[in-house]
């Protein structure tokens, strides 16, 4: 058996990145433009095509027994009145959980159940120091409601895998918009 060697990764608070970078994935608005409601705002912003978020995956085998871990950073900003957010996904092995630990910024964690029954919805606040548990069978999306980057560590089973298609097509049942200056959860009219 080939032994995997212990490794460290660091969060560079000043430069807002993980070191070493590992596998860096960036998502610009054009990677997810259809996921926002206000398509006029999308068209305007697409002229610059801002980066919405990025995540740094530590290179760990995608195998049972290992713990995948990564640092995600969502830039502050809105598309129309909808805050910058991740695409969102559930795990291919739906019965695998995840831990998020917020290290910078503030936002919300949206979750929607993916059992055979009617989907249920939950939202949790995220701020520096928050340790959030995403139990098995919950799709998850993170949203930056603050003025600085929202950064968090995610840790999940090596074999979990990711499914995007259903959420890419339908979104979550709720949206997070700014209303009267406050983050406000509303029903997704297109769900
Ligand atoms: C992986 C974990 C996170 C996300 C990342 C980006 O299980 O939940 O690392 O991959 O926050 O979000 P998304 O929805 O584009 O994968
Ligand atoms: Zn996940």
pLDDT value for 58:
98
Q: Which residues pair with 10 in a beta bridge?
A: 19
Does the pLDDT value for residue 104 go beyond 90?
A: yes
| Shortest-distance atom of ligand 1 to CA 57 | 9
pLDDT value for 45:
98
DSSP code for 30 = G
pLDDT digits (tens, 9 = 90+) for 7-53: 999 999 999 999 999 999 999 999 999 999 999 999 999 999 999 99
87 lines ligand 1 (CB under 6 A): yes
- Specify whether the CB–CB gap between 98 and 91 falls below 8 A: yes
Does the pLDDT value for residue 175 go beyond 90?
A: yes
pLDDT value for 47:
98
Q: Is the dihedral angle over the CA atoms 55, 58, 61, 65 positive or is it negative?
A: negative
Give mean pLDDT, residues 92-106: 98
Ligand 1 atom 2: the closest Cα is on which residue? Answer: 154
Domain layout of the chain by residue ranges: 18-187
pLDDT value for 2:
87
- Specify whether the CB–CB gap between 110 and 174 falls below 8 A: yes
The environment of the single-atom ion ligand 2, i.e. residues with CB closer than 5 A, is: 98
Ligand 1 atom 14: the closest Cα is on which residue? Answer: 88
pLDDT value for 70:
98
pLDDT value for 52:
99
pLDDT digits (tens, 9 = 90+) for 110-153: 999 999 999 999 999 999 999 999 999 999 999 999 999 999 99
Does the pLDDT value for residue 66 go beyond 90?
A: yes
Computed over every residue of the chain, the mean pLDDT equals 97
Neighbours of 134 (CB within 10 A): 21
pLDDT value for 159:
98
Give mean pLDDT, residues 152-168: 97
Percent of the chain with pLDDT strictly greater than 70: 100
Kindly state the tokens that stand for 122: 């939950």
18-187: CATH topology is Jelly Rolls (2.60.120)
88 lines ligand 1 (CB under 6 A): yes
């Amino acid at each position: 058996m080939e032994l995997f060697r212990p490794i460290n990764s660091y969060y560079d608070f000043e430069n807002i990145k993980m070191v070493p970078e590992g596998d860096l994935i960036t998502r610009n608005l054009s990677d997810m433009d259809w996921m926002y409601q206000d398509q006029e705002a999308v068209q305007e912003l697409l002229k610059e095509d801002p980066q919405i978020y990025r995540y740094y995956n530590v290179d760990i085998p995608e195998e049972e027994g290992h713990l995948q871990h990564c640092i995600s950073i969502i830039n502050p900003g809105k598309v129309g009145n909808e805050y910058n957010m991740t695409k969102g996904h559930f795990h291919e092995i739906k019965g695998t959980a995840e831990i998020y630990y917020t290290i910078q910024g503030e936002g919300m964690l949206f979750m929607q159940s993916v059992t055979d029954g009617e989907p249920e919805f939950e939202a949790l606040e995220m701020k520096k120091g928050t340790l959030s548990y995403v139990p098995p069978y919950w799709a998850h999306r993170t949203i930056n409601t603050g003025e600085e980057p929202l950064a968090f560590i995610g840790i999940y089973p090596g074999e979990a895998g990711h499914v995007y298609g259903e959420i890419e097509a339908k979104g979550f049942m709720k949206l997070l918009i700014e209303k009267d200056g406050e983050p406000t959860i509303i029903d997704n009219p297109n769900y």
